[in-house]
Structure 1
Amino acid sequence: MTIQNFLKTLKTAKRTSASTLSPKPYQHLPDLVSPFLTASKPLDASTLQDLNSTDFHDILTNPHLKASKCYRFFNSVVKNQSVLSFKPHLQDHLTLISRLLKARLFADTESMLKAVSIDENLRYPFLVIASAVENCCFESRIMAKFFNLMLKVYSDGGKFSEAAEVFDFMKNNGIEIDERTCTVHLNALKRADELGLALDFFDQMVQTGLEISVYSLTSVVDGLCRNGDIKEGREIVEEMSGRGVKANVITYNTLIHSCAKRWDFEELDLVLALMNKAGVGYNVETYKFLINGYTSYGKIEEAERLVMEMHAKGLRVDSYLYNLMMNGYCKLGSIENVLLLLGRMSDRGVKPNADTYWPIINWYSKVGGMEMAMKYVREMQKMGFELDKVMYDTLIDRFCRNGMADEAFEIRIEMERKGIHADISLCNQIGELLCETYQTEKAKMLMNIMIKRGKCPKTVSFTSAIS
């Protein structure tokens, strides 16, 4: 046969083959559901009465229908279960699940898996599902996706024993395990406060030979740290480093934060040494955790050294870190260092806030330096920061303790203008002091304000002096 004759024969065969194909691939579908499946029209429940299990299965396996349409149809059937002469069985679910997985419709797949594995009315035991899946002869790629998603569904639903059963089944049958799914399960165990189960599962992951990610490692370390087992967390980091799993800065920050807030500086030094050995540098969060821990313990100079180190590295230093140090120095009574830090903030271009000024104001007012306290109050207000109720109440109390009735009264008036009302006990304090200094007009004015606010003066000396 010549090449020309062969090509003619091939063209004739193609035309003949094409003519035998149905121009309407949906024509063999049951008439009652064709409009619903092909045109997305609403499905009338009454039309389902004549649907049988054979037609139902044919629809789910029809290659001309998209998996998404089959899923929509399946849900409609389930919702109208009462009018059907049959009930969708496990094989129907698995048939559609396989198609959804191939179409990468994972959210829909997960919804169906929840129905057969967790739903109280429908669920099947895991081994029944696993056996049915094997009978379906899923290809290995789809089977791996199926069981990994099952592990996640059980884990999300708090069915931890079933999740462990899935993991064992996959391990024993050579089904590829997705390490990311395992991380999801570790996080679920941690949220459920099942640290023991999380550690056991992580150990199984390691023994199985999975390539452990830093995310799984960090999840386990975080769980241990939350439980106060910082040493064990550090030892796991060391052990996994020997296996080639390198902790990152987030892992180390988890350990550092736990050490710092517990003032466990001995363990902290070991963590920092391990971090340095691994060549992992500090980030802004690392410095914040360290500075917070040092300042709360009173190691302010160490905290200040770290802040200067941040500046030298070009890392962003905000007012929060300076405020921590200033609070620390105030607790130690070292106001000179506080003022030095305030100056350094300005030199470094770090803008102060209300929390920067308040420790200074509070310290001066506590030791009787009300003039200096008010100097920083006015400076703070010029910067655009206002006093809150607690700050005003504190200043009034300090003025009264120092016998400064006029200043206490003026602060009270300033509060009123801003719509802030002092506590009744402080108003009584001011009133008593005004009466003691024979300022009865101001005392009357204060009493009238209190009455308008629905507060009745309670101090006898106050009310009797102005009556």
Structure 2
Amino acid sequence: NSIRNLVPSFDHELVYNVLHGAKNSEHALQFFRWVERSNLFEHNRETHLKIIEILGRASKLNHARCILLDMPKKGLEWDEDMWVLMIDSYGKEGIVQESVKLFQKMEELGVERTIKSYDALFKVIMRRGRFMMAKRYFNKMLSEGIEPTRHTFNVMIWGFFLSGKVETANRFFEDMKSREISPDVITYNTMINGYCRVKKMEEAEKYFVEMKGKNIEPTVVTYTTLIKGYVSVDQVDDALRLVEEMKGYGIKPNAITYSTLLPGLCNAEKMSEARSILKEMVDKYIAPTDNSIFMRLISSHCKVGNLDAAADVLKAMIRLSVPTEAGHYGVLIENYCKAGQYDQAVKLLDKLIEKDIIVRPQSTLHMEPSAYNPIVEYLCNNGQTSKAEALVRQLMKLGVQDPTALNTLIRGHSQEGSPDSAFELLKIMLRRKVDSEKSAYDSLVQSYLKKSEPADAKAALDSMIENDHLPDSSLFRSVMESLF
């Protein structure tokens, strides 16, 4: 009633715009039915088409189907566009059999089927790999006197390649030309992609040359497809050649182009080229489509011993607004430790701890033991056990209970004259049933003895024996002598 007070009359423009602007498909359906039930508006072809489109997009296909089939009861005629919309909607949901039934029902109900309906059906069934069914309907279409278009052939060729039917795709390409239908850039891109998928790069290159010979300009999609193909057969030099060629023609590589090329460069250990490509991406502020490439780049630079380049990858991530994770830092820290560049490893660790990167809930790449254990050991051997403990405690928040790291911390605190800190960690280990080491107990007991705290030394010794570590006779004697 409040709507009626606001709007005295409901015309076509108002109803259509309300449906078009609805953010919620359920609200759109309620409004569609309400204006009809309340006799405020008689729906026409356009409003039916709009609600079918909205419901199809929202996967409410049964509602859309009922509305479509009820149209004659309202004195409205069907047209092909509505049925094509429904065929496409069922296809997008993967319900191929319903798309086929609707296509057949068009014939039963006398709805004219043109090339538009056939193209919609071909796309649906080809997407699901039903290439034999597609061939049958293609022949049926021809028998009805409906001529295929360039778009029809593009869909069919795409579908055959998708199902691995390379020869059939090629036959349809030749049939297309024999009907004097000129292939366009989409046709050639499809042919090139199809041959790249089966790693027949000579054939792909042949069609690439052919399209240029016919003055059909390759697009960024053409070049990216070929680059991907060459990367897949480990011909990365050819991929690089194409990158330079496309730039020469004024075609700018995009995020997909770069993301396709970089893994190939890593595989081929062409890391100077990979570094240049990444710099180009940063300069153009083009982030890759898959962030996993950054871990590949860091690891690959480390593998060839270029730690500066690996560190530059981290900087590139920050400049491209790509979140850095503990795993990225971990690989670098591990390799800095292996190279004896502990100062650099510690600097990275400081950033990790300071920014709480380790404990970020959205993180998927965590530090591996091979990364944190060497730096923990270095810090504990160089009077920085507190910093090492800050790292380990952050790891423990993620559920990491590494016995190597914890025992190293106990030895570190003990050597630095902080046996109470060591004993506290030891008690945590015992509560959590983390394996302790005899050497950790030895350090702890000796640390208490050095501080002339015999009672605590005796408590540590008792714990040592309780946990199945047999003390050396000299250590046992030292504790006993300190007590008396």
TM-score between both structures, scaled by the size of structure 1: 0.60
Partner of 1:91: none
Matches within 5 A, 1:9-158: 75=37, 100=44, 106-107=48-49, 119=66, 146=79, 149-150=82-83, 153=86, 156=89, 158=97
Partner of 2:385: 443
Superposition deviation, residue 411 in structure 1: 1.4
Per-residue Cα deviation, 1:175-216 (whole angstroms, up to 9, x for no partner): 853322322222333345533322322232233232423322
Cα distance 1:406–1:197, how it changes in 2: closer, same or farther (>3 A)? same
Superposition deviation, residue 420 in structure 1: 0.9
In 1, Cα distance between the equivalents of 2:195 and 2:373? 47
Partner of 2:116: 180
Cα-Cα RMSD: 4.7
Superposition deviation, residue 283 in structure 1: 0.9
Per-residue Cα deviation, 1:212-246 (whole angstroms, up to 9, x for no partner): 23322222222222212233223212202211333
Amino acid at match of 2:389: M
Superposition deviation, residue 315 in structure 1: 1.5
CA contact 2:80–2:112 (8 Å) conserved in 1: no
Per-residue Cα deviation, 1:244-280 (whole angstroms, up to 9, x for no partner): 3333212322332233244222442454355356543
Per-residue Cα deviation, 1:332-381 (whole angstroms, up to 9, x for no partner): 234455567678x59xx75676889876654442233435644x358748
Partner of 1:431: 376
Cα distance 1:448–1:234, how it changes in 2: closer, same or farther (>3 A)? same
Partner of 1:465: 411
CA contact 1:148–1:178 (8 Å) conserved in 2: no
Q: Which residue of 84, 97, 104 corresponds with 1:165? A: 104
Which is further off, 149-158 or 188-197?
Answer: 149-158
In the alignment, structure 2 segments of 5+ residues that lack a partner are 11-31, 54-60, 91-96, 359-365, 415-484
Partner of 2:164: 228
Partner of 2:194: 258
Partner of 1:407: 344
In 2, Cα distance between the equivalents of 1:197 and 1:239? 19
CA contact 1:156–1:188 (8 Å) conserved in 2: no
In 2, Cα distance between the equivalents of 1:248 and 1:181? 22
Matches within 5 A, 1:297-446: 297-318=233-254, 321=257, 324-325=260-261, 327-338=263-274, 345=280, 361-370=298-307, 373-374=310-311, 376=312, 380=316, 387-421=324-358, 423=367, 425=369, 426-435=371-380, 438-439=381-382, 441-446=383-388
In percent, how many aligned pairs have the same letter? 19
Cα distance 1:413–1:284, how it changes in 2: closer, same or farther (>3 A)? same
Per-residue Cα deviation, 1:53-96 (whole angstroms, up to 9, x for no partner): xxxxxxxxxxxxxxxxx99787569xxxxxxxxxxxxxxxxxxx
CA contact 1:230–1:255 (8 Å) conserved in 2: no
If you compute each CA radius of gyration, which structure gives the higher value, 1 or 2? 1
Instruction: State the aligned residue count.
Output: 356
TM-score between both structures, scaled by the size of structure 2: 0.58
Q: Which residue of 293, 300, 323 corresponds with 2:229? A: 293
Matches within 5 A, 1:183-198: 183-198=119-134
Partner of 1:237: 173
Cα distance 1:378–1:166, how it changes in 2: closer, same or farther (>3 A)? closer
Superposition deviation, residue 395 in structure 1: 0.4
Residue 215 (1) aligns with residue 151 (2): yes
CA contact 1:259–1:267 (8 Å) conserved in 2: yes
Partner of 2:467: none
In 2, Cα distance between the equivalents of 1:328 and 1:164? 45
Partner of 1:60: none
